[in-house]
């Protein structure tokens, strides 16, 4: 997949949902708090077809699934925790920090730098997104040879009471 075709996919994705975006102008304050997300996509690893000849590769499409939580501060900074699994590989977890911007038409961009596993270099992910009326977010993310599309929604944190206590912490 060429960078040009990726741009076309991202543009089509955002145009499809722009009519559903909030009717009032958006800005970074539209993203505040925790958002759970899930997505799926493809990874195209380049595998040496002929060992020792680095210019000869074969491409093997593999599925990838991702889920996690994004915490946005309504000022343009965010953190991410995620778990991914790629076809043929065990699941892995990662976390990172990033920035985001939101346009008046409720489209936006997030860029995260993920820490990576011990001994591996950090990766940068770039997400284009659309904030919808219901507070849901649709996104497309790319990093190198990976492409992920998915949805995020505001996380609801349940109140967990200690044993013998009510939700407000009072004894029964």
**Burial of 151 (C-beta count, 10 Å sphere; 0-12/13-18/19+):** middle
What is the value of pTM for the model shown?
A: 0.70
Q: Domain coordinates of the chain in residue numbers?
A: 3-154
Q: Which residues of 58-73 are buried (b: 16+ CB within 10 A; e: fewer)?
A: eeeeeebbbebebebe
Encode pLDDT of 66-118 as tens digits: 999 999 999 999 999 999 998 878 898 999 999 999 999 999 999 999 987 66
Task: Give the span between the Cα atoms of 8 and 12, in whole angstroms.
Answer: 6
Nearest to 35 by CA among 90, 82, 103: 82
Q: What is the CATH number of domain 3-154?
A: 2.40.160
């Amino acid at each position: 997949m060429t960078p040009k075709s990726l741009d076309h996919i991202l543009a089509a994705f955002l145009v499809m949902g722009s009519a559903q975006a909030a009717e009032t102008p958006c800005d970074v304050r539209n993203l505040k708090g925790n958002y759970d997300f899930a997505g799926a996509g493809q990874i195209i690893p380049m595998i040496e077809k002929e060992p020792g000849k680095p210019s000869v590769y074969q491409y093997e499409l593999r599925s990838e699934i991702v889920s996690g939580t994004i915490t946005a501060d309504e000022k343009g900074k965010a953190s991410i925790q995620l778990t991914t699994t790629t076809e043929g590989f065990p699941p892995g977890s990662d976390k990172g920090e990033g920035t985001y911007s939101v346009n008046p038409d409720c489209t936006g961009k997030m860029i995260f730098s993920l820490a990576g596993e011990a001994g591996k270099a950090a990766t940068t992910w770039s997400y284009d997104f659309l904030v919808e009326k219901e507070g849901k977010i649709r996104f497309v993310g790319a990093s190198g040879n990976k492409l992920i599309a998915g949805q995020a929604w505001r996380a609801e944190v349940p109140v967990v009471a200690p044993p013998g206590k009510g939700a407000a912490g009072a004894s029964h």
